[in-house]
Structure 1
Amino acid sequence: MDAREAAAALRAAGVADGYYWIDGVHEPSPTPPDFVYLRRDGGGAGEAGEWEVGTYERGTHQPLARYGDEAAACAHLLRQLIRARPEPGERP
């Protein structure tokens, strides 16, 4: 999964636009006061860089995790924003 696919999955799950920010893919305007984010932390020349998942609150980015690949970072973002649905008969 890449960042565009993650954004599509969040839309399909009904996650509100202001709850998340994905650099270059989903950047709500005006900027929400707090949200979960996915951004690429670009490395130096010739480096791929890392993907960072975190929260933005009160004007500060708070990293939660860094990943070497986009798919793992996207999976983390989805876990943060999409709550698992209980099985039939199971309490939420």
Structure 2
Amino acid sequence: MPTWAIWLGLLYLIPYAVIGYDILRKAVLGIMHGEVFDENFLMAVATVGAMGLGEYSEGVAVMLFYQIGELFQAVAVGKSRQNIS
């Protein structure tokens, strides 16, 4: 593996850690509580797998799009609860 590929991988770990910290944390906590196959664990496996295969941008992009989807879901649930009450 060329040295530039190692540096590129390390460079992509910065946005991955920032974007995916809470998902990775929830995945580890879920495993510790016996909830192995929840969505957080599956997202962690998918993105870490992509990073392991050298598809760094894919791993970061998948985590980013998942977080955006979670944001949209939280907004929609909040509006629904507000409309019900």
Normalization by structure 1: what TM-score? Answer: 0.38
- The structure number with the bigger radius of gyration is 2
Instruction: Indicate the structure with greater helix content.
Output: 2
Looking at secondary structure, tell me which structure has more strand per residue.
1
